[in-house]
Amino acid sequence: MKMHELHIDKDDLDLFLSLAGPSKLEFLYDLYHKGKLFSVRKQIERLLPDDFSAYEVPNVYAEKSCVVRINENSIIITSNSLKAVRHVAYKFMEDGYILHRRKYTGYSKHRFRRNYKIAGYSSPLSLS
C-alpha cells in the first residue's frame, strides 16, 4: 500500500489523536503495512480493560453483526445496526439478565454502542 492510498475516517482520526506518542507510531506502521482494520482493532483492544471478553455475533438481525463485550457487571454491544443491538439486548433479557442501560463514552468503529450494567439475574422469560 502506498501512503497516498491511505484513507483515514474521522473516527479513525479521533482514535489516533487519543493515543500516546509511541502508540501513534505503531498505529501508523500497522496502518501502512497491515491495513486499517488490523491497526484500528489492535489499538481498540489495548484501550479496553483486560477483564472484558469479546464475542462477535454474526447475522443477528437483518444481516448485520454485533460485537458483544462482557464482564461480571457490564455488557457492551456495538453494531452498525440499532435493530441488531436491540435484538441482542432483548435476547440477554429473555435469558434472565436484568439490565440497566447507562451512558458510555468512548471510541467505536461501529455506529451504535450500548452499555448495560448487569443489575441482577432472574429466571429466563418464557414466551409461550
Q: What is the pLDDT along the chain (128 residues), one digit of tens a residue?
A: 566 676 777 767 777 777 777 888 888 888 778 877 777 777 777 766 655 555 555 544 445 678 888 888 888 888 878 888 888 888 888 888 899 988 765 566 667 888 899 898 888 877 66
In the DSSP assignment, the letter for residue 72 is: S
| Residue 19: how many other CB atoms lie within 10 Å | 16
Contacts of 109 (CB under 8 A, 6+ apart): 11, 12, 40, 41, 44, 78
Distance CA 58, CA 24 (A): 31
Q: Is the pTM of this model over 0.75?
A: no
